[in-house]
Structure 1
Amino acid sequence: MPDRPILERERELAELASATRAAAEGTGSVVLVFGEAGIGKSSLLQTARSVLPAEGRLLVGYCDDLSTPRPFGPLRDLVGAVGAGLARALDASDRTRAPDALRAELDRPGQPTVLAVEDAHWADEATLDVLQFLVRRITALPAVLILTYRDDELGPEHPLHRLLGLASRTPGTRRLPLQKLSTSAVRRLTEQSALDPDDVYAVTAGNPFFVTEVVAAGGARKVPPTIADAVRGRVAGLPEASREALEQLAVLPSGVERWLLDPLLRDRPERPGNADRMHVLAAAEQHGLLTVTPQRVAFRHELARRAVADALPAARRMHYNRRVLRALVEHTEWDLSRIVHHAAEAGDTDAIVRYAPAAATEASRTGAHREAAAHLRLALTLRTRFPDDALAGLFEAYAVECYTLGQAGPALPAQQEAVALRRTLGDKAKLGTALRWLARIGWWANERPTAERAAEEGVKILRDAGEPALLAMAQSSLAQLHMLANRNEESVALAAEAVTVARSVDDPALLSHALNNWATAGWRIGDPDAEARLVESLRVALDAGETDHACRAYVNLVWSLIEDRRWDDADRYLTESIGYADGTEFVGFLAYLLVARGLVYLATGRWDEAVAVVEPAFDAQPAARWGALTVRGRIAVRRGLPEADDLIDQARQIAERMDEPLRIGPVAAARAEAAWLRGDRAAVTAVAAPAYDRLAGDPRDPVLPELYLWLAKAGAAPTGTPPPGRPPPGRPPPGQPPAGQATPPTGAPPTGRATPPAWTEPYVAQARGDWALAAEGFTELGCPYECAQALADSDDPDDLLAALSVLDGLGAEPLGRRVRARLRDVGVTRIPRGPTDTTRDNPAGLTERQLTVLRMVAEGLTNAQIAERLVVSTRTVDTHVGAVLDKFGVRNRRDAVAHAVTLGIVPGQSR
């Protein structure tokens, strides 16, 4: 069998199997297997052994790319596997005896033979004569003749054409053109690696050899040596003029349009005789290196282009790039991005200074922020060539592009450079604006003191600048920092003032920004108009095409809904907003939104999905990375995973540096829960008490009730009124009866348990010992783990068993062990074992993502629904499902789920 998996060759193997069955019955045939180099002809032949009948045999001979081919080259490879008659004829190089000897060798009734001649396009004349003899007689033999060849290397005069023409007139001949792999197959080949399958497909065009070599090399940043050697071997066989033309084309990263091809290949005095510019490309096309159409010329594979370009000496590469640059600049329609690329490759600094800033502006305008940042980064390497005002603008633009891409590291120093330059230029409006951006980027980079100072200075400077809109935006930015620090009243006051200015000057960017801050801060203090105001902020930004403000409105809207435990509403906006941020290439906010979805999944018990969806945010800016660490760390704590402490500690470090209740509370709750699961009450108090005191000034803080619970479990419940929490949608505030219901009378003692208020915060109910009310509340909120955690406080075996079922389904082993201990304490003898060690170690060998997909299949979700949850394409899910079926050795999803139940890796199953 081949060393690598052979994919998407089922039809070809079926044809070979059919041909061998016919040969076993006495009817031979010819099979033509053809395609470009690396397409998998040899792999197909190796796999063909699996379709041979037990009594059959496979003989393979190889043609070699020699300047003088050896006579009978591929037939000589058979010596040792064939009879003495053929061996003697070949040893004597007897062209008269060899054909008959070969026919006799193949004429073995009851033992069908597959004779494969590899790379027949290199066959010598003697071999071709023998094969022509054999083809005329093949149908009367119990044999299959397979010829493999590269059809793209057959010129009109190639000697193989005669043999192929004869074969095409032979009854039963099968033609098997091998196609490139689909993107789905490439995904399967790359699924065990860290490579992006779409990137691998882009550079290999689905060529199986290229794909497997790139995977083996761990990527295509550098062309794998095996591919480079293969390409250079082909180039070496080209005429000098064709080699030079190929080298010229290799410095162009994409195909070459006809208008550009003409000036690059036009006649030059030092090289006469090249009047037909396209003629010099014919040899490269015939060698399978180029694809030539009337409109354009391109390398057949990107890796082949890179191999040729990488082999060029630096001086020659620069020369070729200078020629491309000149042709691009002389063209009537400028392609700024291509101009800048070739200017950089040619080392033309004048061209870089002239064109890079304009190329960045154009790229940013079209939403290509990575390209814009790259152009600006290149221009800034020549910073001394720009006047100070222009240089400050370049730094500002670069900082904003990096901010957009979520790259806080380079964004902050760039904006600081811009501010330093603006201070020397005396323009208050531009300095104030630069300081406002420094405040935003400083916060993004987790430098709150820098952000606070810049925001306050920006407001102060812009008060004297005579620009009301700029001042209002600076005030709104300061309001934003107040809001993030839970200084909500100060935020509302500043933001409301900015909204008034925005409406008076009709500035949608300012209006969206200020409405956002006003609404988010107002939401936290119970403003009934906050949600409508935040939705208005979003719509204003979307209508005006203000991507930054739209993404921030999405984030704050989703986050506020999550704090109110409105999971469905949040998830609905998340589907919309993730697509928007991804489509506009706003990577920084995309990471934030993925974390928000992870928080929804964490709360609602979809933990595997939560772990998967936050993964991209681990490389994001600190605020988003904090969220990813918190989500994954919390799940690790609840599952008792060894990385739990490290994840939570990393989140703690970010939270302490950001110094915001929004970050401090969730981390403290996670650390307190971890300590409680370890049985360390002193650690629970040490962690939860300072955080509770810090957050207690805002009774509506969403984490405060959970901290109250942990302190109560540690025997250190805070005195005074417990935090009220936030009721779910449609429920009245704590102590207020539902609409239309009278307040319960007071005075007479209640019978049984006291009638609860319309809504009691479940964490507080549990802290007071009312685990049943807490479980009801958590069920209403849709939080299965928290419900099981409340039930775990019961003494009723049925409650404990119900909790255990949920915990085992989630993989929450630490709390599951506690519940099992309580079951033993109350006298239960038949306790479910729970997931075994084998289950935890994943006996099927599935990847983490495959396991996630399998569990969603078990939920009854379609591949399209799974793709939506995981924020991937449906085709990607198809690939994962196919891999699970392969590893399980089953044919359909139902059987896969049944097998998973047997293994105990489907949630909700006890063993």
Structure 2
Amino acid sequence: MPPSPFVGRRPHLDHLLGAAAAVGSGNARTSLVVGDAGIGKTRLISEYLARSPLARTVVGGCLELGTEGIAFAPFATVLRQLVRDTEAPIAGGELARLVPGLGPVPEATEESRARLFEAVLTFLEESALPGGLVVVVEDLHWADASTRDLLVFLLRNLDAVPVHLVVSVRSDDLHRTHPLRRLLPEIERLPGVARLDVEALSQEEVVEQAAYLGRSTDPDLLYLRSGGNPLFVESLVADPAPLESALPDGPRELLLRTVEALPETTRAVLGLASASGDRVDHALLAEVAAGSGISELELDAALRPAVDAQVLRATEDGYVFRHALLAEAVYADLLPGERIRAHRRYVDALDHDSPGRLPGETAAQLARHAHIVHDHPRALVAAWAAAEHAEASAAHPERLGLLERVLELWEMVPEAEHLAGAPHGEALRRACQAAHVYGSTRRAVAHATSGLGATDPSIHPELTGELLMARGRARSDQGRADALEDLEAAAEYLDRDHPRRPALDAASATALMRLGLDKESERAARAALACAQRVGDRVSEVDALMTLTNLLGEVRGLVGEPVGPRSSEEESEADARKGPEGEAVTAMLHRAIDLAQRTGQVRMEVRAWRNLAIHLDQELRLEEAYRAAERGWRRCTELGVSRSQGVGCATTMASLLNDMGRLDEAEELLDRLPYGQSRQEAYRLNLTAMFHAFQGRWEQAEEALTAFTRIMPRDISSPLEYLNQYYARLYLLMYRGDLVEAARSVGLATADIGTMAPGRFPHYGLTVMGDLVLRLRQHGGTEERYWAQNLVDHLRSDLVHRRGPVSPLGRLGYRIMEGFLTDKPTTALEHFTEAVRICEENGYRGIQFRSLMGAFHAALDLGDHDRARTLLERFGSLQGQGTAWILRQDAARMRAALAAAEPVRVSAGLPGGLTPREAEVLTEVAKGLSNREVGQALFISAKTVSVHLSNVMGKLGAGNRTAAVARARELGLL
């Protein structure tokens, strides 16, 4: 058969070459090549690779292996090709998880997956220089979850490097529940990603293809029969039967016409090969064929006709079917007995060591073939071994799938415990751990519960304790109070001398802290710390230190001690008590950082840097806090986790910049951050939503919050994780003018996650809720007044009367809240004036704006217009150094309030007889705002704006808005 012609795809090829040209300029690009099976995706990519101007090309394909799929399969192939073609020595490290021979595989930790992703990214960036690199990932529709995760990570982080990612997807395989159905639209929205749909050929192109293949036929009939699919056109043309009589039952039968003409032994070998999927290793196929009585010489002789007929394509170490549909057709044509025998041959061949085979891939393949033939014992053993290899490769979802396959087989294999070398409860404990690491806390709890039901505590007391601790940790992450019951029960089986006891005590301390039981948490943390130091458990020691510093140092920004009016002596005494304690916490955090560095606890070290920054922030040491967060970010780069853990440090930096009043810098920092992984990315999106709200960009804020909930859905997120989403939405609703909805959202958040419960209320939450109370009161409507009082009652009953340690920043937040809540203007002015002083002395520009606004309105309520005017001028001078949209709106609102409070003095100087409110409306109209936008800016309805604007035009003799603005400029009003 002559080679298939390249017909009708020139525009598609030009698209790929255009992307390559952009890549050559130093900009990464991704092309999603999407189309039905047989439509020509592979041929298009082959033509592109032959013409690509980029220096290096590598190809990796996803494997159709189902749940037992080989994790990272296409990227492992790509990396091995690049390593093989690279002359310079390559440091192994994390890459050794996917490329054997690069050195020892590092021990699996919680950071392994993040570090592996970054190592792959860095290696691809280095391999792209000089000259550029094409990375092809074929058949993404068959990709395992880890491959999809790594691909998304690369797409988000490959930026100014000459890498062209080409990804093929079979669109007719994307059924309703396929994971790509949701993922593809998200990928397509990413910068640098373009979708290239490969459609059916036109009738003219079908005729051209047929003519090239040497057959002229009825063009209408050929087009009708093939549907414009190049693979089907080729099969119909190759069929010796007349087109009118070629009536196969379907596409697979049509493709088999080529196979039917081959020798019997060749067909038998193709059947064996198809049981492996669309590709097979030569050495493995030789073993399988030998089990069927076919010698190596006979195998070579049988394969030659298949290669000549282009049914198979020979690769460096095996064979690939010319098209996956052809492999599927050959496999579907096997009789049931032939299929079972073929899979048995694979089981026999894979169930012993063979030179050159990779243990992880072998175990995954063996698990699949053994499961198909219902060889349950060997399937269980293979899946158990494959799960261990998946753990070493940081392939969390695949490990979980394999362990769940083990659990599925357990009841079918009487000797399962002997074969696995572990009791049933241990298999369930590992499944619980895998689910927890993967982020599925519900499945983790379910597996641990099953494990407890399958374990006799009198026979396996230690395993019982481990299962209880595992379930307690998972429930703690869900924010459930019954986590404490599990952890307390675990202590009955893991006594004080048990090596796992420090970890248990540390987990208990964390759970208690999350539930707001700070005193109990501190006791547990100190016990964990002492125990860990006694037995030399450095991991648990750092964990306990983190919790203890959270509690003592207020790194959560919690408040709990009422702050009424105090004397200066009382304030000094409080500061004196806090100072030494603050220094002690700082010292503990530095010890945690040192311990984490010496013991290689990357996640804990990064967490300690962030906690140090937040603690210093709580101590009103803002500049030092920023430097600590910055140092943590630099350490993330040094440790190879800048795009995962580093995003958390960077978002802390951005938050601190905003506190300094440097919103532009904060937004710029967030914009240039790399894509973070899972929760880190969610935190970045949450802060991005808040900044959009500060700038009045409502749609962008909503989009960011929607993306947050996609990454961190409420049903699998702990209350503390979801807390900031509620605060960001509160800012959005309040600044957008939806005041009642904002108040309702506080109630919803309280009902959902206990927003006002201990452990839930950071200092900025106090000030923003106080601000909301003020806006509700000023609006003056009945519903607004009701919600204002409702919020005041809740804040006072749930927060003001709670006792506990308070950081300096917490006391500042409390003072500002009291200023907003009190109905005594004199008291409010005292609180706000002191807050302004503290903010000014310590550089908290963001909170200073809110304090000045509160002081302004308190002065206005007292009738002290001169003081209000001074505060407004001070607000305006600071506003000149800020860029937030909300500051401009607040300033306009304050000017309007002052004008309304002293109408005679202000209106006397206004030309044209305009009232202060009319002048305010005209000022906003001059900015090009619509009536609705003017109303939002001035907190009045659009209808009221229209009335004021009509009065303005009448007084100024203007026929329209534009003329009114022009006349106002002539009069010096603008």
* Same-fold call, TM cutoff 0.5: yes
Counterpart Cα distance in 2 of 1:641 and 1:10 = 47
Give the equivalent residue in structure 2 for 1:511: 541
Counterpart Cα distance in 2 of 1:249 and 1:199 = 32
What do residues 235-280 of structure 1 show as CA deviations (whole Å, max 9, x unaligned)?
4463235777667556657853332232345694699975425425
**What is the deviation of 1:370?**
2.0
Is the alpha carbon distance of 1:212 and 1:400 closer, same or farther for their aligned partners in structure 2, counting shifts above 3 Å? Answer: closer
8 Å CA contact 2:136–2:165 kept in 1: the answer is yes
Query: What is the 5 A alignment of 1:303-702?
Result: 321-332=343-354, 333=357, 334=359, 335-384=362-411, 385=413, 386-387=416-417, 390-448=423-481, 450-463=482-495, 467-524=497-554, 526-541=581-596, 543-545=598-600, 553=608, 556=611, 560=615, 563=618, 566-570=625-629, 572-573=631-632, 580=641, 591-594=678-681, 597=684, 614=708, 617-619=711-713, 621-623=717-719, 625-640=721-736, 651-656=749-754, 660-662=758-760, 673-679=771-777, 680=784, 681-693=788-800, 695-700=802-807
Are 2:822 and 1:795 equivalent residues in the alignment?
no
Could you tell me which amino acid in structure 2 is paired with residue 368 of structure 1?
Answer: A
Counterpart Cα distance in 2 of 1:790 and 1:281 = 83
Counterpart Cα distance in 2 of 1:529 and 1:6 = 65
What do residues 768-810 of structure 1 show as CA deviations (whole Å, max 9, x unaligned)?
3467537636854566875785697553564555677788744
Give the equivalent residue in structure 2 for 1:47: none
Counterpart Cα distance in 2 of 1:628 and 1:677 = 22
**What is the deviation of 1:765?**
7.8
8 Å CA contact 1:480–1:517 kept in 2: the answer is yes
- Does the residue aligned with 2:258 lie in a helix, a strand or coil? coil
**What is the deviation of 1:669?**
6.0
Alignment match of 1:276 (pick from 283, 294, 301):
301
8 Å CA contact 2:647–2:681 kept in 1: the answer is no
- TM, length-normalised to structure 1: 0.55
Are 2:258 and 1:238 equivalent residues in the alignment?
yes
Counterpart Cα distance in 1 of 2:773 and 2:12 = 48
- Does the residue aligned with 2:351 lie in a helix, a strand or coil? helix
What do residues 591-643 of structure 1 show as CA deviations (whole Å, max 9, x unaligned)?
44445556766788896797598566423522464145235314423542879
8 Å CA contact 1:779–1:787 kept in 2: the answer is no
Between Structure 1 and Structure 2, whose CA radius of gyration is higher?
A: 1
Percent pairwise identity: 14
Counterpart Cα distance in 2 of 1:537 and 1:4 = 56
**What is the deviation of 1:282?**
1.7
What do residues 739-791 of structure 1 show as CA deviations (whole Å, max 9, x unaligned)?
xxxxxxxxxxxxxxxxxxxxxxxxx9884346753763685456687578569
8 Å CA contact 2:815–2:832 kept in 1: the answer is no
Could you tell me which amino acid in structure 2 is paired with residue 259 of structure 1?
Answer: A
8 Å CA contact 2:477–2:717 kept in 1: the answer is yes
Counterpart Cα distance in 2 of 1:574 and 1:626 = 24
8 Å CA contact 1:395–1:415 kept in 2: the answer is yes
Counterpart Cα distance in 1 of 2:647 and 2:406 = 22
Give the equivalent residue in structure 1 for 2:280: 256
**What is the deviation of 1:379?**
1.2
Is the alpha carbon distance of 1:636 and 1:606 closer, same or farther for their aligned partners in structure 2, counting shifts above 3 Å? Answer: closer
Give the equivalent residue in structure 1 for 2:960: none
8 Å CA contact 1:369–1:585 kept in 2: the answer is no
Counterpart Cα distance in 1 of 2:375 and 2:931 = 62
8 Å CA contact 1:605–1:785 kept in 2: the answer is no
**What is the deviation of 1:411?**
1.0
Query: What is the 5 A alignment of 1:699-710?
Result: 699-700=806-807, 705-706=812-813, 708-710=815-817
User: Which runs of no fewer than 5 residues in structure 1 stay unpaired?
Assistant: 15-33, 43-178, 188-194, 721-763, 841-910
Is the alpha carbon distance of 1:577 and 1:12 closer, same or farther for their aligned partners in structure 2, counting shifts above 3 Å? Answer: closer
Counterpart Cα distance in 2 of 1:568 and 1:420 = 51
- Does the residue aligned with 2:923 lie in a helix, a strand or coil? coil
Count how many residue pairs are aligned between Structure 1 and Structure 2.
627
8 Å CA contact 1:419–1:431 kept in 2: the answer is yes
8 Å CA contact 1:595–1:628 kept in 2: the answer is no
Counterpart Cα distance in 1 of 2:644 and 2:689 = 26
Counterpart Cα distance in 2 of 1:514 and 1:562 = 21
**What is the deviation of 1:452?**
1.4
**What is the deviation of 1:402?**
1.6
- Does the residue aligned with 1:239 lie in a helix, a strand or coil? helix
- Does the residue aligned with 1:367 lie in a helix, a strand or coil? coil
C-alpha RMSD of matched pairs (Å): 5.7
Give the equivalent residue in structure 1 for 2:953: none
Give the equivalent residue in structure 1 for 2:15: 7
8 Å CA contact 2:609–2:628 kept in 1: the answer is no
Counterpart Cα distance in 2 of 1:325 and 1:646 = 62
8 Å CA contact 2:832–2:851 kept in 1: the answer is no
User: Which runs of no fewer than 5 residues in structure 2 stay unpaired?
Assistant: 1-7, 23-39, 49-131, 141-147, 156-163, 185-196, 201-225, 236-254, 555-577, 649-675, 695-699, 778-783, 858-867, 901-905, 907-915, 934-973
**What is the deviation of 1:444?**
0.8
Counterpart Cα distance in 1 of 2:775 and 2:334 = 63
Give the equivalent residue in structure 2 for 1:296: 318
**What is the deviation of 1:665?**
7.4
Once the two structures are overlaid, the 10-residue window that deviates more, 702-711 or 301-310, is 301-310
What do residues 33-67 of structure 1 show as CA deviations (whole Å, max 9, x unaligned)?
x996445999xxxxxxxxxxxxxxxxxxxxxxxxx
What do residues 665-716 of structure 1 show as CA deviations (whole Å, max 9, x unaligned)?
7767655544544443313303422332365423228556435534432435
8 Å CA contact 2:686–2:725 kept in 1: the answer is no
**What is the deviation of 1:381?**
1.6
Give the equivalent residue in structure 2 for 1:739: none
- Does the residue aligned with 1:297 lie in a helix, a strand or coil? strand
Is the alpha carbon distance of 1:529 and 1:199 closer, same or farther for their aligned partners in structure 2, counting shifts above 3 Å? Answer: closer
**What is the deviation of 1:374?**
1.5
Is the alpha carbon distance of 1:502 and 1:10 closer, same or farther for their aligned partners in structure 2, counting shifts above 3 Å? Answer: closer
Is the alpha carbon distance of 1:798 and 1:435 closer, same or farther for their aligned partners in structure 2, counting shifts above 3 Å? Answer: same
- Does the residue aligned with 1:462 lie in a helix, a strand or coil? coil
Counterpart Cα distance in 2 of 1:805 and 1:381 = 66
Counterpart Cα distance in 1 of 2:468 and 2:291 = 56
- Does the residue aligned with 1:768 lie in a helix, a strand or coil? helix
Counterpart Cα distance in 2 of 1:445 and 1:299 = 47
**What is the deviation of 1:401?**
1.6
Counterpart Cα distance in 2 of 1:778 and 1:831 = 35
Could you tell me which amino acid in structure 1 is paired with residue 717 of structure 2?
Answer: Q
**What is the deviation of 1:371?**
2.0
8 Å CA contact 2:350–2:366 kept in 1: the answer is yes
Counterpart Cα distance in 2 of 1:768 and 1:505 = 51
**What is the deviation of 1:339?**
2.7
Query: What is the 5 A alignment of 1:884-899?
Result: none
Give the equivalent residue in structure 2 for 1:45: none
Alignment match of 1:776 (pick from 835, 840, 855):
840
8 Å CA contact 2:469–2:504 kept in 1: the answer is yes
Once the two structures are overlaid, the 10-residue window that deviates more, 684-693 or 549-558, is 549-558
- TM, length-normalised to structure 2: 0.52
**What is the deviation of 1:656?**
2.0
**What is the deviation of 1:392?**
1.0
8 Å CA contact 2:503–2:540 kept in 1: the answer is yes
Is the alpha carbon distance of 1:481 and 1:207 closer, same or farther for their aligned partners in structure 2, counting shifts above 3 Å? Answer: closer
8 Å CA contact 1:39–1:180 kept in 2: the answer is no
Higher RCO by CA contacts (8 Å cutoff, separation 6 or greater): 2
Query: What is the 5 A alignment of 1:847-862?
Result: none
